[in-house]
Amino acid sequence: MIANNGRLKIAIQKSGRLTDDSISLLRACGLEFEFQKQSLYSPCRNFGLDVLALRDDDIPEYVQDGVADLGIVGENIVREKRAQVATFTKLGYGHCRLTLSVPRRSKIRTVAQLNRKRIATTYPAILQQFLRSQKLKAEIIELSGSVELAPTLDVADAICDIVSTGTTLRMNGLVPLHVVLASEAMLIANRETMKHPEKKRLVERLLIRISGSLQARGKRYMMMNAPSSAISRIASILPSLKSPTVVPLAEAGMVAVHSVIAEDVLWDVMEKLKEAGASDIIVIPIETIIR
Ligand code: ATP
Ligand code: MG
């Protein structure tokens, strides 16, 4: 039995696709803990929080029932389990799509043509809800895995399964028809947790840190020297958070310019800055941005 001692408990996937990114996110929030997948429970040394390692399928229900206060899990699982939980923020990893697909040779080419057909899935609840929203009747064949084999085995006419790259679909002669749900990892919470003043404070502190590290993701800090006459040209090139910081240098007529820059435009911007007269351009990582 885990003591209810005012510490927060956050459930993350024990071992799987979300595990490494979830641990990295918590560590990027400054939380220090050992994580061994053999141990259910890892206390955090410098924050009132304990990390629980669980099967991802169990996380929504454990959060709903208060076994954990918080959880990190795919939106696909949260929706499928229909757990009564509060949802906080999407976390920008674990992207995948729950997709309806059909055999390449199938006559089915539209969602409407799925009416009265058989659809195999491990996501019966989400599929049921989708079919209802489309006013379609179809037989849901609930499987526990290897859904992509169902059409070949003539168990189903279509499948509704998680796709990330589409390689598995192609290998099994299937083509996507419709995306039912675009999912990513998200932070969920027990609905009672925020009524507990100490826990609420901890959750709020953690949320600020999480949003800080999400904000910093994909961004770099850039510094350069330039003649003051080039400032307006340089400022027009920099897509800065607000406006760039300009600091005078000891050498007369020279300034240092500091700015935050998105990773994906970094190289283009650097070339333009050089042409505009910037020199000694330095780019460093950002750990967090608290607004
Ligand atoms: P567990 O043992 O915890 O039940 P699992 O095998 O059910 O693990 P994983 O395959 O590790 O689960 O996937 C965890 C989550 O990662 C999925 O629920 C989904 O949100 C996300 N995900 C991202 N890409 C994919 C993918 N290509 N296939 C399946 N899930 C993916
Ligand atoms: Mg699972």
Specify the pLDDT at position 154.
96
User: Which residues line the pocket of ligand 1, CB cutoff 6 A?
Assistant: 13, 16-18, 55-57, 74, 76-77, 94, 96, 162, 164, 183
Cα–Cα distance between 80 and 64 in angstroms, integer? 14
Cα–Cα distance between 45 and 50 in angstroms, integer? 9
Rounded to two decimals, the pTM is 0.88
Closest ligand relative to 17 C-alpha: 1
Where b means 16+ CB within 10 Å and e means fewer, 16-34 reads eebbebbbebbebbebebe
Specify the pLDDT at position 1.
43
Specify the pLDDT at position 92.
95
Looking at ligand 1, which residue's alpha carbon is closest to its atom 18? Answer: 74
Question: CB-based contacts of 154: which residues, under 8 Å, 6+ apart?
Answer: none
Question: CB-based contacts of 237: which residues, under 8 Å, 6+ apart?
Answer: 269, 272, 273, 276
Residue 79 near residue 38, CB atoms below 8 Å = no
Looking at ligand 1, which residue's alpha carbon is closest to its atom 13? Answer: 17
Mutating to test ligand 1, I would choose from 159, 162, 169 the residue with most ligand atoms within 8 A of its C-beta, which is: 162
Specify the pLDDT at position 4.
64
In the reported structure, the alpha carbon of residue 196 is separated from the centroid of ligand 2 by a whole-number distance in angstroms of 30
Flag residues of the chain having pLDDT under 50.
1-3
The atom of ligand 1 lying closest to the CA of 164 is 27
Looking at ligand 1, which residue's alpha carbon is closest to its atom 5? Answer: 16
The atom of ligand 1 lying closest to the CA of 16 is 11
Specify the pLDDT at position 241.
62
Question: CB-based contacts of 135: which residues, under 8 Å, 6+ apart?
Answer: none
Q: What is the DSSP letter of 51?
A: E
Looking at ligand 1, which residue's alpha carbon is closest to its atom 1? Answer: 55
In the reported structure, the alpha carbon of residue 57 is separated from the centroid of ligand 1 by a whole-number distance in angstroms of 9
The atom of ligand 1 lying closest to the CA of 73 is 20
pLDDT in tens, 106-124: 999 999 999 999 999 999 9
